[in-house]
Structure 1
Amino acid sequence: MSFQSTPWQTVGPYYRLGLEPLYRVEIAPAAALGERIEVQGQVFDGVGVPVSDAVLEIWQADAQGIYAHPEDPRHATHDPAFAGWGRVPTDDQGRFSFTTIKPGSVAGPRGEPQAPHLMVLVFMRGLLRAASARLYFSDASSNASDPILALVPAERRDTLVAQASGTGQYRWDVHMQGERETVFFDY
């Protein structure tokens, strides 16, 4: 009996073909309310090689901190121009880029306000389930009091923080493993 992985036991590059029609790199259309931003970065594997076939799925609240989801108690007042999600592929150098708006604060555990953030799922070869992370913004003073970010060891929090690199521009790299591994959450 062999315990080696076979092609049907791992996600290959083939899933990307099914997702291509669903790519959305402009998460916030021009009509969406809020501060427009661009996020750029790269996805790296465990030895630092860029991942050319990853897909990032982004979920976020609108500028008022309201999700475009019927279970959000304030759903009726969310920005109708903003759907709050996108799927962003990496290129042959593992690079990605998307535009959106900076989200508002949402309620966290026990109703505590959370710092503005994006929920990010990373899909790539070799993963049977997406890796789940958060992207926070380096210029958000509320990061210091975010109840979820506070659960992450202080020396690893920077793996979840996109650095401002210009007006409305942020840089955030995803490291799937290794010394600079991005913090991933189990939900």
Structure 2
Amino acid sequence: MVPFPGNLKESPSQTAGPYVHIGCTPNAVGIGGPYGEDAGARLVNDKTKGDRISITGRVIDGANAPLRDAMIEIWQADADGLFNSPLEKRGAADTNFRGWGRQAADGESGQFRFETVMPGQVPFAADRMQAPHAQFWIVARGINLGLHTRMYFPDEADANAADPVLQRIEPRWRVATLIASGARPNYTFDIRLQGENETVFFDV
């Protein structure tokens, strides 16, 4: 075996750096983009069906500090539990609901905010339904692979108790890391990357 040359240093890890924001949310970070509004800036319009809700939160690191350079995406079903996707075969989703949103965390507070609608239940298998939820994807400096998680609603206790995904989480106390706080129409969901009450992330 040839010894590793001492004059060669380890290459830096790949990282999202500022490039995610330059490419994905240029207007949000003040550099201007080809369009007046960043893709994913709005999930709803004035014709969207369903109960309007807001989801506000922060991405928090292991030192309990909010990440101010995170980018967060959200996916969810419409009020009837249908996805705005060509793969949706159960019926026609609300054409006035995008079903996907993207926000850059605020550069000072680290806060993100989505204006959306209360999602309907979606099937897990032929005879089982998932509780209403939103799926999150998070990327930031130092996060080499985007993190996937879910947010469930505290005022859907019965549906949450029967949710087949939540039922698989062990130890059971970690289920609470996926439940938002607040009540309709305003919810708060902080995503903790490490440490006490670390959010459950999914290998998707």
What TM-score do you get using the length of structure 1 for normalisation? 0.91
Deviation at 1:110, TM superposition (A): 4.7
Q: Which amino acid aligns with 2:163?
A: D
Counterpart residue number, 1:88: 103
Match of 1:156 among 147, 158, 174: 174
The structural deviation recorded for 1:4 is 3.8
**Structure 1 counterpart of 2:45:** 29
CA contact (8 A) 1:43 1:176 kept: yes
SS in 2 for 1:133: strand
Contact conserved, 1:162 with 1:171, CA < 8 A, in 2? yes
Give 2:87's aligned residue.
71
Q: Hey, which of these two has a bigger chunk of helix by percent?
A: 1
- Report if aligned partners of 2:57, 2:112 keep a CA contact under 8 Å in 1: yes
- Corresponding residue for residue 134 of structure 1: 150
Percent identity, aligned pairs only, is: 39
Gaps of 5+ in 2: 27-37
Q: Name the residue aligned to 1:42.
A: 58
Mapped to 1, the partners of 2:102 and 2:9 lie a distance apart of 33
CA contact (8 A) 1:133 1:185 kept: yes
Relative to structure 2, which stretch is displaced further, 14-23 or 118-127? 14-23
SS in 2 for 1:132: strand
**Which is worse superposed, 20-29 or 114-123?**
20-29
TM-score (norm 2): 0.84
Q: State the distance in 2 between where 1:158 and 1:4 align.
A: 39
User: Offset at 1:107?
Assistant: 0.4
Correspondent of 1:122 among 138, 150, 158: 138
Unaligned stretches of 5+ in structure 1?
Answer: none
In structure 2, distance between residues paired with 1:27 and 1:5: 40
CA-based RMSD of the aligned residues comes to 1.7
* Large movers: runs of 4+ above 6 Å: none
Correspondence for 1:144: 161
SS at match of 1:164: strand
Of structures 1 and 2, the larger Rg is shown by 2
* Count of matched residue positions in the alignment of Structure 1 and Structure 2: 184
Distance change >3 Å, CA 3–CA 118, structure 1 → 2: farther
